[in-house]
Structure 1
Amino acid sequence: MEENVVLEVAIEEAGYEAGDKRIAGITFEVRRGQLLGLIGPNGAGKSTTIKTLLGLLKHAKAKVTIGGENSSCAYVPEQPVFYEDLTLWEHLDLAAAAYGMPYESFQATAERLLAQFGMAHVRDDLPAGFSKGMKQKMMLMLGFLVQPDIYIVDEPFIGLDPRATKDFLRLLEEERLRGAGVLMSTHVLDTAEKICDSFVLISGGRMSAAGSLAEIRTAAGLAEGALFDCFDVLT
């Protein structure tokens, strides 16, 4: 594995039950500072790919390497996951403790994230009462808190208002400049086209194309085509 590669994925096949092959032949890598978009419509196999590389599927033939020996990974799921009886602040505190983050560093970073996402007023509230967008903001804050080597983000834009989306993208850019790699699954192709360095297009559980926007356009035969149009041709 090259030194600047933070995620290397080679999935021969994977599914949820024995003999149930949902995805196959998916290979890619993410480098430091790179934002790779895992692109495809709902049901294409994006979430199955992410679950496979996170080791959540028993029926998988895959090799996944995350950075070096001390590399860390943050996963931001599509569906928010939380403890019913812990406040937002307690969720942040628990995540920091799990990663061995010094309390002073945690406190300063958590306060900054609460302010950036406009969530300071609910820091002591239970997330069960949050809106879908607020729950998604909490998931993003938990990811950004620990500043890992690689972010794996599944459909981050669902439920986010324009301001929260802008805050998320700004923080993501800061993390990329720090050297973190990002794998982002999304079907919001117009946004992906603007922010991703390269793409893996998935359709029907298979890779249909991969590369930069220029390479995707060449593969689709559309010299000035939008990502949406290229995807339409290639799938």
Structure 2
Amino acid sequence: MTLKVEHIVGGYSQIPVLNDVSFDVHNGELVGLIGLNGAGKSTTINHIIGLLTPFKGSIQIDGISLQQDSEQYKSQIAYIPETPVLYDELTLKEHLELTMTAYQLEPKSARQRANQLLKVFRLDNKLDWFPANFSKGMKQKVMICCAFMTNANLFIIDEPFYGLDPLAVRDLLTQIESVKQRGAAVLMSTHVLDTAQKYCDRFVLLANGQVKAKGTLDELRQLSDNKNESLDDIYLALAKEDLDGKTV
């Protein structure tokens, strides 16, 4: 499975937010999408999941674009948004059943997988709860369970760590590693760079709607005189140069 983003120009109006953004995500890897507020991370994700249409460029999953086959394209994606989106009138159990229907999952295996996830994220005794009963962190866990119970080939995770307790963060990272092992691709945006440095295989560094650097941590360190720099140091240096009007 390969997500290929090529020369994307796009945004929310006629004024582009993204300018010639290109990168890819391959099967079995976690790619970190890194950037300050306003760098273009969420805009990039919204183009990939089809909420926005690029002005220019193309986005393909295994060679298929949204325009070519929207059903096939979307069926490959499981998305966890930064802000949980749940239906007020549906219980946790009904959210899981809705996910099963939407992804056309085989009921028995899907329920087994859902039950495993509910136990991991300590929601197995809350199947009859409505979203109004959940904290923000618990709502985030519901979104995580719904995403990882699917057989998606591409997981897109937007700023997942806010609202999660340390145990839930560990459990989420374990689930990411599990889907990587079965060959899925994962794109994750985050501000938590120390965690990204530990777990991501490659990185895409955005600033002002442009890709300023991409590659493994060792490849990014080649941009610096200090070969032991952290991801945080590397990104802040690149962002500062960009804000100062210098060419990276």
- Tell me how far 1:59 sits from its aligned partner: 5.5
Residue of structure 1 aligned with 2:13, choices 13, 17, 42: 17
Q: Is the 8 A contact 1:16 1:58 kept in 2?
A: no
* Equivalent in the alignment of 2:88: 84
Q: Is the 8 A contact 1:116 1:167 kept in 2?
A: yes
- Tell me how far 1:107 sits from its aligned partner: 1.4
Q: Percent identity?
A: 45
Q: Distance in 2 between matches of 1:178 and 1:59?
A: 31
Q: Is the 8 A contact 2:8 2:54 kept in 1?
A: no
- Tell me how far 1:81 sits from its aligned partner: 0.7
Task: Structure 2 unaligned segments of length 5 or more: list them.
Answer: 65-71, 240-248
- Tell me how far 1:129 sits from its aligned partner: 2.1
* Equivalent in the alignment of 2:121: 117
* 2:162 maps to amino acid: I
Residue of structure 2 aligned with 1:103, choices 84, 87, 107: 107
Distance change (3 Å), C-alpha of 1:17 and 1:59 = farther
Q: Within 5 A, what are the aligned runs for 1:1-235?
A: 5-18=1-14, 20-58=15-53, 60-67=55-62, 72-235=76-239
Q: Which moved more, 1:122-131 or 1:224-233?
A: 122-131
- Tell me how far 1:68 sits from its aligned partner: 5.7
Task: Structure 1 unaligned segments of length 5 or more: list them.
Answer: none
- Specify the SS of the correspondent of 1:219: coil
TM-score (norm 2): 0.89
- RMSD, aligned CA: 1.4
Distance change (3 Å), C-alpha of 1:121 and 1:11 = farther
Q: Which moved more, 1:176-185 or 1:119-128?
A: 119-128
Q: Is the 8 A contact 1:222 1:230 kept in 2?
A: no
- Tell me how far 1:220 sits from its aligned partner: 2.8
Q: Distance in 2 between matches of 1:60 and 1:104?
A: 43
Q: Distance in 2 between matches of 1:137 and 1:8?
A: 28
TM-score (norm 1): 0.94
How many matched pairs? 230
- Specify the SS of the correspondent of 1:210: strand
Q: Which moved more, 1:66-75 or 1:206-215?
A: 66-75
* 1:63 maps to amino acid: S
* Equivalent in the alignment of 2:242: none
* Equivalent in the alignment of 2:244: none
